[in-house]
Structure 1
Amino acid sequence: MKVKILAVIGLLSALLVVGCSADGNDESNAEVNEVDNIKELVHDHSMGNIEGQVARINSHQLIVTEGDENEYLYNLPEDEFFVSIAPYINFTHP
């Protein structure tokens, strides 16, 4: 039970940290991609299930960068948002 709670809190905290980063709508060389389930894609990146890519999220897009600096943009739903909560017992981040 504790593992599930910590996993959810970790996912939410990762989304908060990424969501608080600067608005990255200046990705002029990146192409906007479509995905069937954006929530699943965000979850997979937050849990570290996708290797070789780095993801960040802002209020409008999920931005995924591959090791060779190719960027892929995924628009977020306009009627939903992602919330992250940083867990802490003694501190918020390792």
Structure 2
Amino acid sequence: MIKKNILLGLIIAFSSQSYAATINSETFKDLDYKSAVTTAHTLYKNNEGIMIKVLPNRIVATFSDGKSSSVAIPKDQFFLSIAPYINSSHPCTNHVLTGCTGEIKNQV
């Protein structure tokens, strides 16, 4: 079981690094808002310096070269993120999809 988990972790790490090499400010701006969120989840805790955050009306990506681009969230849509906490929480006006987590991880 441990070997399978290590292998899966390596596959995920490799695929996210490979994807990070292909995404940039030009390719990000061509995504629709749902694809932008999916992309952010693919790049969670990446080592490429890519940060993707959700604002009330846009999804903004900032890349290691300092360039950024954004994708609009349609006016009749919204983004809801749930990060469970036990001891403390914080106001989350801007949710960082590539790095934000709650206190309770991997529990059902």
TM-score (norm 1): 0.51
Instruction: State the SS of the aligned residue for 1:81.
Output: coil
Q: Is 1:75 the counterpart of 2:72 in the alignment? A: yes
Show structure 1 runs of 5+ residues with no match: 1-29
- Across the aligned residues of Structure 1 and Structure 2, the Cα RMSD in angstroms comes to 2.7
Contact 1:60 1:75 in 2 (8 A): yes
Q: Whose relative contact order is higher, 1 or 2, with alpha carbons under 8 Å and at least 6 apart?
A: 1
Instruction: State the SS of the aligned residue for 2:34.
Output: helix
Contact 1:62 1:73 in 2 (8 A): yes
Kindly report structure 1 stretches of 4+ aligned residues shifted beyond 4 Å.
89-92
Percent of paired sites with the same residue:
26
Which of 52, 55, 66 is 2:63 aligned to? 66
Contact 1:56 1:62 in 2 (8 A): yes
Larger Rg: 2
TM-score (norm 2): 0.45
Which of 82, 87, 90 is 2:84 aligned to? 87
Once the two structures are TM-superposed, the CA of residue 44 in structure 1 deviates from its matched residue by 2.8
Equivalent AA in structure 2 for residue 44 of structure 1: T
